[in-house]
Structure 1
Amino acid sequence: MAKGLVIGASRSGSGKTVVTLGLLAALRQRGISVAPAKTGPDYIDPAFLGRAAQRPAINLDPWAMSGHRLKHLAASTDADLLLIEGVMGLFDGAADGTGSTGDLAELLELPVVLVVDAERQSQSVAPLVAGFANWRIGVRVAGVILNRVASTRHERMLVDALAATGIPCLGAIPRNAELALPERHLGLVLPDEIAAFEGFLAQAAQSVGDYVDLGRVLDLAQPLTDEADTPRLAPLGQRIAIARDDAFAFLYPHLLDGWRQAGAELSFFSPLADEAPDAAADAVFLPGGYPELHGATLAAATNFKTGLVAAQSRDALIYGECGGFMALGEVLIDKAGVPHAMAGLLPVVTRIDRPKRILGYRRLAHASPLPWPERLAGHEFHYSSARQSRLPPLFHAKDAYAETLPPMGAVIGRVMGSYAHVIDVGSA
């Protein structure tokens, strides 16, 4: 039976992504079969985790997914260990206070290894860790990894202080300015965009291997328990053409796996390479990503745009999420204020030259041609904005507080899109 372990942190920026990457690579180098997972609605961290583990990472979202779904997805791994990276601080969740890494650890009955940024503190680490360990009875902090430790003397002060908590220190990783990943407006850049990523990963693996007791980490893992899965989102069609490249990289593996299990045939194409969707596809999916970084290339992608028009003509369902929604519009205005002609299937103009961050979980309701239940769970995260003609919206939306938001997206016939990323079936 596979085992699981959660890597949490006291706050964002503590280094849990780098520590998790190092753990995945170091354990793999030692012959351990380890699978990665990420808590919450994240596309970028899973791309890094997958590279480190050399197998796809899954998302486990305790706000948007049911307990049955979470347990089934976690237990479906064929690895010996499922290593789950948390999100933000251990008890940080959605606006309504739910959906935290702690919630997931409690639901899956898995222990937490807490990553603590030790920079600019010494003995105060003890009350910090004790506070996290005693905050909720159902969440067990089983060990601590200290990060960004300044010296051997600093390490000794930290470890001596932690002894009073009774929680073992599993390792102390020295401060290293080279163990940092570049970022941009939606978070980290993707691993394929980092020329020296393999070198970075090797360094992270070495740091973790040298300064963390991997045997003790493995000993903490607990068995995963499976539960019968609940119905998943139906395939968009029988033959689904899916855009996938650096401009359209935000795909949830659990959705694709569910579509395959339902018997759908999936094909992939690259708009950046001016590839058209499969001419036999009865559905086209344009996921989110970074089209705003590739405006000129997409504007010149005549095969891609002609292929979308052909799909519309044969009445295929065409669905775009966030970046995909932008690509379905008429014009995309990039950061420099330069307009680029998009597919023109929806009368929408999007722009990112006046950035404003919009993010949060969304409760969605629709009556569109999407073959999904009326109520859905999703999230929104973008800096661009959209101006559109009066069209039927794709979704009516509420935030995590259940407060009503403006309608989202647009629908024309069987072409539709919005800024929402759909995660799973919603609740009533």
Structure 2
Amino acid sequence: MNLANGLVIGAPRSGSGKTVITLGLLAALRRRGTTVAPAKTGPDYIDPAFLGRAAGREAVNLDPWSMSPHRLKSLAARHAGDALLVVEGVMGLYDSAADGTGSTADLAELLDLPVILIVDADRQNQSVAPLVAGFANWRVGVRIAGVILNRVASSRHETMLVEALAPTGIACLGAIPRNPALVIPERHLGLVLPGEIDDFEPFLATAASAIGDYVDLEALFALASPLPQAAEEPALLPPLGQRIAVARDAAFAFAYPHLLDGWQRQGAELSVFSPLADQAPPVDADAVFLPGGYPELHGATLAAATTFKTGLLAARERDALIYGECGGFMVLGEILIDKSGQPHEMAGLLPLITRIDRPKRILGYRRLIQSGALPWPVQLNGHEFHYSSARQSRLPPLFQASDARGAALPPMGAAIGRVMGSYAHVVDAA
């Protein structure tokens, strides 16, 4: 059996241009006829949406903190198939969770894949050499196979950078000139979604042309290494029901593909519906999943979605399991107060009021112990990322929680019978 090849795109720090260059690489490789399988390191919903658009197929998350080594190996191999797996890293190459694990370097070492380091060359020249050499020699088992220089000022600047890198023995695969057109808009949870950018396709074409013009794609392709094969695939999280209705639109865009795919592989039937279009979950659904997203940007539309809210009430009355994560949890409450202070009436299935009021985001990995009706193992791994706060009546929490270091956190979420939710996004069993 032929093994799929892969590589990891990393950087010394966030803001180096890693996402834009990865998008350009995916699109440029597709132009030359290479089938690519995109993936993102760590917990992220927005970057994978961009990666999927660029690759022409869905991206998956490979999270070395939340997922076991066997899960990562089996998921990477299954997702790649016979394509080239291109994994975008997160933050800086060696940046990790608070407990020191879960970095892009951890993933690259586990999968034994080479790292292409994206270096922002703005306002430096010869100093690029000790920077790259330091990253390359920091840890045995992490292979920096090549460098792509970004935001290069001129051909003279490029020459100085390439000459400085020569003694490191690490191939310089290309140098991307400064280009103000290669910028993606941002919003409070990160990048906006690709469907919200009117000129995304022209932007992607510009990124692909930049990569095609300035990066040696043949040399990059030759650096890819075979993916390891997992001895056996770990048990998947069981499906929420046999017939699961999944909310999917601009307000509910944050669902992990590996979970949905895993449910289908275990025999569950999935259907999608749009609360923003005032659609109710199908009447035969025995479970409803409200993923995270941006409900606070669509408060008035959701408040007016009477068919959707009536459908949720009907699902509760027929004892369907109803589960909301983060934005979905907010919509299960009574009131959502947006950033301007405007209240919006939500579904009212949980006695909960949420408000976009935090000056800083709440984020981090979470170790979870569930006490609700979720058909999952008691111990779970997930993460939290939001700017809102919740005020709720005294209710049984859905999770006991601790952070990545194991420090106890306040209980999370709420559960009333088979209606439940929290700010946590569950990734896998612990």
TM-score (norm 2): 0.98
How do residues 28-427 of structure 1 correspond to structure 2 at under 5 angstroms? 28-76=30-78, 77-227=80-230, 228-426=232-430
CA contact (8 A) 2:64 2:102 kept: yes
Displacement of 1:80 in angstroms is 2.4
CA contact (8 A) 2:357 2:387 kept: no
Amino acid at match of 1:346: L
Displacement of 1:367 in angstroms is 1.9
Amino acid at match of 1:146: L
CA contact (8 A) 1:355 1:384 kept: no
The CA distance in 1 between the partners of 2:142 and 2:107, in whole Å, is 9
The CA distance in 2 between the partners of 1:297 and 1:354, in whole Å, is 23
Amino acid at match of 2:163: D
1:32-75: per-residue Cα shift (whole Å, max 9, x none)?
01110000000000000000000000100000000000000111
The CA distance in 2 between the partners of 1:225 and 1:333, in whole Å, is 48
Q: Show structure 1 runs of 4+ deviating over 3 A.
A: 353-356
CA contact (8 A) 2:371 2:397 kept: no
> What secondary structure does 1:405 align onto?
strand
1:268-324: per-residue Cα shift (whole Å, max 9, x none)?
000000000011000000000000000000000000000000000000000000000
Displacement of 1:164 in angstroms is 1.2
Q: Cα distance 1:354–1:337, how it changes in 2: closer, same or farther (>3 A)?
A: farther
Displacement of 1:357 in angstroms is 1.0
The CA distance in 2 between the partners of 1:26 and 1:347, in whole Å, is 50
Displacement of 1:78 in angstroms is 2.4
CA contact (8 A) 2:287 2:320 kept: yes
The CA distance in 1 between the partners of 2:358 and 2:366, in whole Å, is 23
1:160-213: per-residue Cα shift (whole Å, max 9, x none)?
000011101000000001100000100000000000000000000000000000
1:374-398: per-residue Cα shift (whole Å, max 9, x none)?
0000000000100000000000000
CA RMSD of aligned residues (A): 0.6
1:329-374: per-residue Cα shift (whole Å, max 9, x none)?
0000001000000000000000004443100000000121000000
CA contact (8 A) 2:125 2:160 kept: yes
> What secondary structure does 1:217 align onto?
helix
The CA distance in 1 between the partners of 2:282 and 2:399, in whole Å, is 27
CA contact (8 A) 2:357 2:389 kept: no
> Do structure 1's residue 15 and structure 2's residue 17 form an aligned pair?
yes
Amino acid at match of 2:349: L
1:389-427: per-residue Cα shift (whole Å, max 9, x none)?
00000000000010000000000010000000000001x
Amino acid at match of 2:183: A
> What secondary structure does 2:284 align onto?
coil
In the alignment of these two chains, the number of paired residues is 426
The CA distance in 1 between the partners of 2:306 and 2:326, in whole Å, is 21
CA contact (8 A) 2:288 2:320 kept: yes
> What secondary structure does 1:294 align onto?
helix
Give 5+ residue unaligned stretches, structure 2.
none
> What secondary structure does 2:405 align onto?
coil
Amino acid at match of 1:320: G
CA contact (8 A) 1:110 1:222 kept: yes
Identical aligned residues as a percent: 76
The CA distance in 2 between the partners of 1:128 and 1:224, in whole Å, is 28
The CA distance in 1 between the partners of 2:82 and 2:271, in whole Å, is 27
The CA distance in 2 between the partners of 1:71 and 1:382, in whole Å, is 30
The CA distance in 1 between the partners of 2:151 and 2:82, in whole Å, is 30
Displacement of 1:225 in angstroms is 1.6
The CA distance in 1 between the partners of 2:282 and 2:415, in whole Å, is 22
TM-score (norm 1): 0.99
1:2-43: per-residue Cα shift (whole Å, max 9, x none)?
101000001000001000000000000110011100000000
The CA distance in 1 between the partners of 2:422 and 2:177, in whole Å, is 44
Amino acid at match of 1:73: L
The CA distance in 2 between the partners of 1:350 and 1:44, in whole Å, is 23
Q: Cα distance 1:42–1:127, how it changes in 2: closer, same or farther (>3 A)?
A: same
The CA distance in 2 between the partners of 1:69 and 1:118, in whole Å, is 36
Q: What residue number does 1:27 align with?
A: 29
Amino acid at match of 1:188: L
